[in-house]
Amino acid sequence: MLNAPDKRLAMQAYEQILGLIQSGQAKPGELVNERRLAETLNMSRTPVRDALLMLEGEGLLLRQGGRGLQVRQMRIEDYMDALQIRMLLEPAVARMAAGRVAPEVTRRLHDQLHALLAQKDSGPADRAVVREIDEALHGTLSEAAGNPQLSQIIGMLRRQTQMFDLRSMPERLADTCREHLDIVTAIEAGDGAAAASAMAAHLGRVRDSIINRLARR
């Protein structure tokens, strides 16, 4: 078992490597080089190795025999399976979180979402900012639900769906912001039924958008 300092370093390495994967700097199908990663992150190889094992456990990295670990290439079937599970779990989480999020947190989410909507006609939004707000909203609800195991499962599923190539759909930005605002408003009002309904509608529209895009190919 890792002691506290080792665990902290491993988590730092995990977050940084996860960021490389989610941003596309570590590309799907690419082999991961532990030594090079350690040099890039300015860390020893031990926390990097521990972080890679965690990412492998979450299914974001796949072991390729003696070749080492490879960034997982998400297939549409993998994405839709993960999204289907999210559609089962996240409305329940939204219901549980209703009325349990601090007012300053919901206020900040409101402000961030309105700011994104206000600048949608000024050009493409910064994907890192969009992803950060999206993660803050879904992560906040998972934590507020008060079930750490459920939160961990949803976090893993979200990381898997974020790896899919179609995760960036600029035409969905305004709709996503409005759908998120509906969720936040219901959470703020303590209306569990409305929060669950808004979350289900949001994930359903994400699914439908992806299906429509694939149908146009």
Q: What pLDDT is attached to residue 26?
A: 87
CATH fold group of domain 76-216: Four Helix Bundle (Hemerythrin (Met), subunit A) (1.20.120)
Residue of higher predicted confidence among 98 and 57: 98
In a 10 Å sphere around its CB, with 0-12 CB exposed, 13-18 middle and 19+ buried, how is residue 60 labelled?
Answer: buried
Q: What DSSP string describes 111-140?
A: HHHHHHHHTGGGSPPPHHHHHHHHHHHHHH
Architecture of the 4-71 domain: Orthogonal Bundle (1.10)
Q: What pLDDT is attached to residue 159?
A: 82
For the chain, give every residue range classified as CATH 1.10.10.10.
4-71
Residue 131 has which token pair? 């992803």
Q: What pLDDT is attached to residue 166?
A: 39
For the chain, give every residue range classified as CATH 1.20.120.530.
76-216
Three-state secondary structure string covering 135-189: HHHHHHHHHHCCCHHHHHHHHHHHHHHHCCHHHCCHHHHHHHHHHHHHHHHHHHH
The model's pTM is 0.75
134-189 tens-digit pLDDT: 889 999 999 999 999 999 899 888 888 876 643 456 677 889 999 999 999 999 99
Report the candidate in 158, 121, 144 with the shortest Cα–Cα distance to residue 22: 158
- pLDDT-based confidence at 116, cuts 50/70/90? confident
